[in-house]
Structure 1
Amino acid sequence: MDSNRKRGGVPSKTSSELVRLDAVALDEDDEILPDFEAEVDDGRRVWVTAVLERTAVVEPAPGEPKVLVNRHRLLVDPRRLRVRHLASKEAARRGREAARQLRLQEHNPAA
């Protein structure tokens, strides 16, 4: 059994330390990495296995089926979240444009 997981009963954090998952401030190019503990607004402790745009996949207890929960129903300690910076959309667009220019130069070497 995973010792990092809490099961039922009294929450380990005070409500002042917890914020709604959908209220966590992130830069546009950041995403929250999975595998952290959260509390559903009805008091249940769950383990978050994936964070999607408006929902999260949670495991209520080890071995139980995973379920979707709206992000606004999940309370988390923002200091415990891990965040990954994504390549910006603009950088990706510039990369695609540079690759396109190289292909054009290969097909038209005289140009």
Structure 2
Amino acid sequence: MYLCPRAERPALDFDEQNKLEVVTIASSIIVGPFIMQNIPGSVTAALALITRNEAHYSILLQHGLVHTDDLCNAHIFLYEHHATKGRYICSSQDKTILQLAKMMRERYPEYDIPIK
């Protein structure tokens, strides 16, 4: 179940009071393929270095990243393991904007990714 942070705490409290099985997953910036008509905000932010969208650089200063496939696998894992309860954080990489820029510059030399 996806809940925005403001809804997550009340849902977990309700779970505790009513003995339900609520599980939440808090993810870092989600990157990878998407099926929406519009580009998700997380993808826009993750691509900011390539698109030079400086308005999103502040999001990338220090952040975590998780690939869509990993987040889907986390949902499936928690769904299949009925003893799970509470809140889980799903993030696989923790990078600064400089580390991300250097990594992207090495992997995608065809893009002029700024490193300053």
Q: Answer whether TM exceeds 0.5 for this pair.
A: no
**Per the shorter chain, which TM-score range?**
under 0.3
The structure carrying a bigger helix percent of its residues is: 2
**TM, length-normalised to structure 1:** 0.26
Higher strand share: 1
